[in-house]
Structure 1
Amino acid sequence: MNLELSAMWARLQNMLQGFIVAIPNVLIGLLIFLIFMVIARLARNAVISVAQRAGQPRGIALVFSRIASWVVLGVGVLVALTVIFPTLTAASLFGALGVSGVAIGFAFKDIFQNLLAGLLILITRPFRIGDQIVSGNHEGVVEDIQVRATLLRTYDNRQVVIPNSELYTNRVTVNTAYDHRRLAVTVGIGYGDDIAAARALILKTLQEIDGLLADPAPTVLVRELGDFSVNLEVRFWINPPVRREAVEAQDLVLEAIKGALPAAGFDLPFPTQQVLFHDQTEITDGDRERQREGWPARGDNPPSRQAAQRETRDSGPSGGGGPTPAQRP
C-alpha cells in the first residue's frame, strides 16, 4: 500500500514539475497569439484601406478583410502550438492537417461552397449592399454580404439569411440595378367611351404628377377587351427605382386617374352581369338607338315586354277586345 501511494505521489510530482516547466512556454505561446491578433487587426484595416482606395464596394472590403484576419490568426495558432508543445513540429502539424483535410472538406462542404459563392458574388457584383432584390419568395434590401450568407431586410422589417450558394445559382431580380424603373397600372373604361380621348386625358393627368419622368414619356396602351370594360395599361417611369417610391407613384397615378376620368364623363365600370331575352330590356335604359348593354343600336327596336304589356292592358278593356296572349295565364 505504501509502495502504491509513493508511486502515485511521484507521478503527481512529475506532472506538476512538467506543468511548472511548461508555464513559460504557455505564456510565450499566449503572448505570440496576442501579437498575431494585433497583426490580424492591422491586416484587416490595411485590406479595407486598400479596397477603399481602389474604389471597391464595401462588401468586398469587408469579406477580404475578414479572410486576411482569419489567415493571420490561423498562422498565429500554429506558431503558438509549436511553442507550447516543443515536440509538435511544423512538419507533423501540417501532416496531420493534410490527413484530416479530406474529412474536413466533406464535413464543411456547404460552408466552403457558400464561401466560394460569396467571393464570386463580391467579384462579379450582380448586386451590392443597399440594392433591393427579389430572391424566391423574399424581397428586401441587401444589408450585408458575409462569407457564408447574405443578409436581407424585408420591407416589413424582418431579416432573411440567404446562403450565398443559393443566390449565386438561382435567379435573382435586382430592382435597383438601373437608375430608372418602369411601372404600370391597369384602368378600365366603358365600351361606349372614346379610347383616344381617354388616352389623351390620362397622359395629360400624368404630366401634372410630381415624381414621374418626362423622358421616357408615359404611354397608354389597350391591353384587353374585358368582360365588362376596355382595359388600358398606363406605363410610366420613376427615379429612383426603390420600392417606396414605386408604391407611392402608383398610388398618386391611380388617385389622379380615378378623379380625372369620371369628371370628364368616362365610365369606370365594375363587374356586372345582365341576362336579357330577345324581347326584353329595361325601360329605364333610355334611348333604344343607343344601347350600352351589348345589343346593336337600331332604330326599329321592338317595344320591351313591359311596354307591350302596358299597352295591352290600356287598350284591352276599353277597346272591347279579348285578352291578348301576353295577358293569358
Structure 2
Amino acid sequence: MEDNFNINDSISGIWEKLGEWLDSLILGLPNFILAVLVFTLFVIAAKYLGKLLDRLLRFKVRQDSIREITIKIMKVVVIAIGFFVALGLLNLNTVLTSVLAGAGVVGLAIGLALQGTLNNTFSGILLSFLPELQIGDWIENNGYAGRVVEINLRSIVIKEADNNYVVIPNSQVIDAPFKNFSRTSRSRVMVDCGVAYNSDLEMVRDLTLKTISELFPPKNNEEVEFMYKEFGDSSINFVARFWTNATTNREILIARSKAIIEIKKAFDAHDINIPFPIRTLEFNNKLNIDGKTSE
C-alpha cells in the first residue's frame, strides 16, 4: 500500500493556515481595537449614567432598594447595547443573531417561570414612583390599616395599630383601591348620635354646632355640619361632621372621642336626653287571687 502521507506537506499546510489567520488578525485588528474601545466607552458611560440616575431618583424615590435595582437595570441595558455594537463592528453578525435568539428564548422561559414575581417587581417599581403612596403614610388596603414602613420590589410592609407588621404583595396594592390618610393634612370626622323624641330639635342642632365649633374651629371654607338622619326606634338620630388636623386613623379616633365627650357634657348641662333602646313587655293574661288565669 502506497503511503500518501507527507509530513512536509502537512507542516507546510499548517504554516499556510496560520499565515491566513495572521493576515486576518492583522486586517481585523483595527476593528477589534475599535470594538474594545466602544465597549469600554459604554461601560464607562453606564457607570456615570448610574450616578446621574441615582441623583435624579433621590428626589423621587425614597426607597434605597428601588433606586439600586433601577440603576442596575439601566447599567445592564447600556452595557448590553455596547456589547452588541462591538459584535457588529467585528462583523460577527451570525454570533449576534444567535445571541439575540438565545436571549429571547431564555427571557421567555424566565418570564413564564417567574410571572408572579415579575408582576410584583414591576408593581413595586410603579409604587416607588407613585406620589399617592410613600413611606410613613397611614393607609388602608386589603382589609389592613397601618403605617407604611417599607416598599421593596416584592411587597410593602405596614405597621398596624396593634404593633404588628403586615406584608402585602405589590400586585395586590396596585390592583386594589387603598385609602391614604396622610396625603391631606385635614380630615373630616363624623359623629353619630340620637336625642329623645321630646327634645327641642332646633336647640339640639344649635348647641351641637356651637360645641363642636369651639372645640374644632373650622378653617377657610370649612364648616361644621349637622343633619338629622332618621326617626329611630327610641331616638331621633343625627350626624355631625367637622374638620380637624389628622393624618392617621388614630388621630381621627381621638378627635371623634373628644367630640363625643364635649357633646355629652353640653347635653347634660341642658337636660337633653340621649336615650338608650327601650323594650316594652306586655302581659295580656291576668292572674286571679286563687292562682287561676283568666282569659
Q: Over alpha carbons, which structure has the higher Rg? A: 1
Match of 1:253 among 251, 259, 276: 259
Q: Is the 8 A contact 1:63 1:146 kept in 2?
A: yes
The CA deviation string for residues 172-217 of structure 1, in whole angstroms up to 9 with x for no partner, is 12222323211111111100001110111111111332x5534412
The CA deviation string for residues 268-293 of structure 1, in whole angstroms up to 9 with x for no partner, is 10011225699xxxxxxxxxxxxxxx
Structure with the higher fraction of residues in strand conformation = 2
Q: Is the 8 A contact 1:129 1:144 kept in 2?
A: yes
The CA deviation string for residues 230-274 of structure 1, in whole angstroms up to 9 with x for no partner, is 111111111133222211111110111111102201011001122
Is 2:67 the partner of 1:58?
no
Q: 1:144 to 1:100 in 2, by over 3 A?
A: same
Counterpart amino acid of 2:139? I
Query: What is the identity percentage for the equivalent residue pairs of Structure 1 and Structure 2?
Result: 26
* Structure 1: gaps of 5 or more residues: 1-35, 80-89, 279-327
Distance 1:240 1:111 in 2: 36
Counterpart amino acid of 1:213? P
Match of 1:109 among 106, 109, 115: 115
Distance 1:44 1:187 in 2: 59
Is 2:159 the partner of 1:153?
yes
Structure with larger RCO (C-alpha < 8 A, sep 6+)? 2
Tell me the equivalent position of 1:213.
218
Q: 1:45 to 1:269 in 2, by over 3 A?
A: farther
Deviation at 1:48, TM superposition (A): 3.5
Size of the alignment, in residue pairs?
A: 226
Distance 1:125 1:134 in 2: 16
* Structure 2: gaps of 5 or more residues: 1-42, 84-94, 285-293
Q: Is the 8 A contact 1:153 1:160 kept in 2?
A: yes
SS of 2:129's partner is: helix
Counterpart amino acid of 1:239? N
Is 2:271 the partner of 1:268?
no
TM-score scaled by length of structure 2 = 0.66
Q: 1:45 to 1:185 in 2, by over 3 A?
A: farther
Match of 1:166 among 162, 172, 175: 172
TM-score scaled by length of structure 1 = 0.60
Compute the RMSD of aligned alpha carbons: 3.2
Distance 2:144 2:119 in 1: 22
